Amino acid sequence: MLPTVNTGSTPTGGLIRDARTEAGLTQAVLAERLGTTQSVVSRWERGGDEPRLSTLTRILRACGRRLVVSTVADDVDRAQIRQQLAMSPAQRLASVANVSRMLASARKVT
């Protein structure tokens, strides 16, 4: 089984560079394994070009890695966003002012 790569917040270029260097490969050797040129690998690593997901999978396999993609729910309250967007700019400002007044008058509980 190939090692798993967890991208976290790593940009794609950094992910490719890290996988390549951890595998002990030069850009030229990786390019040869992929049937492309060293300059293409360099562009990916610098962020000048973003490979497709299928290409990223091939790149990582060439480095002895595998890509695992998962999704997680974001913690965004979309109902609240819709509610705010339904307000006029003046209503939004009044709402912010009300919240600011409430926070300013709140006492800290110790």
Measured from the Cβ of residue 34, the count of other Cβ atoms closer than 10 Å reads 16
Answer whether residue 92 is part of any domain: no
Provide block-wise average pLDDT over 10 residues at a time, the chain (110 residues).
Answer: 52 94 98 98 93 96 94 87 93 93 82
Does residue 18 form part of some domain?
A: yes
CA atoms within 13 A on the CB side of 92: 10
Q: Is residue 43 part of a domain?
A: yes
Does residue 84 fall inside a structural domain?
no
Residue 102 lies in a domain: no
For residue 10, the model assigns a pLDDT of: 56
Which pLDDT does position 74 carry in this prediction?
Answer: 82
- Res 59: pLDDT: 98
Number of separate domains in the chain: 1
Q: Has residue 36 been placed in a domain? A: yes
Q: Is 19 exposed, middle or buried (0-12, 13-18, 19+ CB in 10 A)?
A: buried
The pTM assigned to this predicted structure is: 0.61
Show the domain range for 19: 4-67
| pLDDT at res. 9 | 43
Biggest CA pair distance of the chain: 66
Structure confidence at residue 12 (pLDDT): 93
Q: Residue 72 falls within a domain, yes or no? A: no
pLDDT at 50: 92
The two three-digit tokens of residue 100, written as one number = 């600011």
Tell me the CATH number at 46. Answer: 1.10.260.40
Instruction: Please indicate, yes or no, if residue 25 is contained in any of the structural domains.
Output: yes
